[in-house]
Amino acid sequence: MKCMILGAGSGLPHPDFHLSSIIFQTNGSNILVDCGEGISKQLLRHGFSGDFIDAVLISHYHPDHVSGIFMLLQMLYLEGRTKPLRIFLPERTAALLDAMHLMYTFEQRFPFILSVDLVKDIGLHYANISTALTDHLQGYAGHINKNKLPNLMQSYCFLFTEADKTLVYTSDITSFEGIGHLLEKADIIIVDAMHPKAEIIISMRELPAKQIILTHGIGSKLNRWLISNPDSRFELAQENLMYQF
Which CATH number does the domain housing residue 107 bear?
A: 3.60.15.10
pLDDT surpasses 90 at 13: no
Q: Give how many domains the chain has, as a whole number.
A: 1
Q: Which residues, 6 or more positions from 145, have their beta carbon under 8 angstroms from its beta carbon?
A: none
DSSP 240: T
pTM of the model: 0.95
Q: Which range is most confident: 83-87, 215-219, 226-230?
A: 83-87
pLDDT score, position 33: 98
Q: Which residues, 6 or more positions from 245, have their beta carbon under 8 angstroms from its beta carbon?
A: 1, 2, 3, 165, 167, 187, 188, 211
Average pLDDT over residues 86-97: 97
pLDDT score, position 229: 92
pLDDT score, position 19: 97
pLDDT surpasses 90 at 189: yes
Q: 70, 100 in Cβ contact below 8 A?
A: yes
Q: Which residues, 6 or more positions from 225, have their beta carbon under 8 angstroms from its beta carbon?
A: 198, 202
**Which residue range forms the structural domain that includes residue 208?**
2-244
pLDDT surpasses 90 at 57: yes
Look over the chain and give the mean of its residue pLDDT values, rounded to a whole number: 96
Q: Is 68 exposed, middle or buried (0-12, 13-18, 19+ CB in 10 A)?
A: buried
CA distance 193 to 102: 35
